[in-house]
Amino acid sequence: MPLVVPALRLFMVFMNVYDTYKTLKIPPGRKGGPPSIKAMTQRKRDLKGCLAVWVVWCCLAAYERTFDRFVSFIVPFYSEIKSVTLLFLLLTRAKGAEPLYLHILRPLIKPYVDTLDPLLDLARDIGDFLFALSQVPLNYVL
């Protein structure tokens, strides 16, 4: 099983990227015109599904980085359970990720939105500053 989980993870990332690419493309309209309202509504639904898949995937990746080694010692057949979970997310795509997001992740994150938003803005600003600082040649600094 140790080889199955990384292969499933890699395949899931490629499927997420491909589905997002397909969803972000604007649907073609009839005879070169703008897309229909029905097509745009479907695109909006698909975008929500893609976003739910990415949020669930990122939370799963953060969980794996933080708790994977500890939980694997406690839970028997942990690798098999993780493989089945990844296979479930691969086969159901947005239909499986949306309920996980709406009923588990969203209620966990919602009370902390007022705290998380300014912290993420600050982290983005610090990252922008560090990136801009890294673009300055060293001979100007020294």
> Tens place of pLDDT for every residue, the chain, 142 residues?
577 888 888 999 999 999 999 999 988 888 878 888 998 999 999 999 999 999 999 999 999 889 988 998 999 998 889 889 989 998 998 999 999 999 999 999 999 999 999 999 999 999 999 999 888 876 665 6
* Cα–Cα distance measured from residue 88 to residue 80, given in angstroms and rounded to the nearest whole number: 12
Closest to 94 (Cα-Cα) out of 29, 136, 42: 42
Q: Which two three-digit tokens encode residue 141?
A: 């600094």
CA 12, 80, 53 angle in degrees (round to 5)? 25
* Cα–Cα distance measured from residue 118 to residue 132, given in angstroms and rounded to the nearest whole number: 21
Cα first-last separation, the chain: 53
DSSP 88-135: HHHHHTHHHHHHHIIIIIHHHHGGGHHHHHHHHHHHHHHHHHHHHHHT
Predicted local distance difference test score (pLDDT) of residue 74: 93
Give pTM, 2 decimals. 0.78
Residue with tokens 């005879």: 31
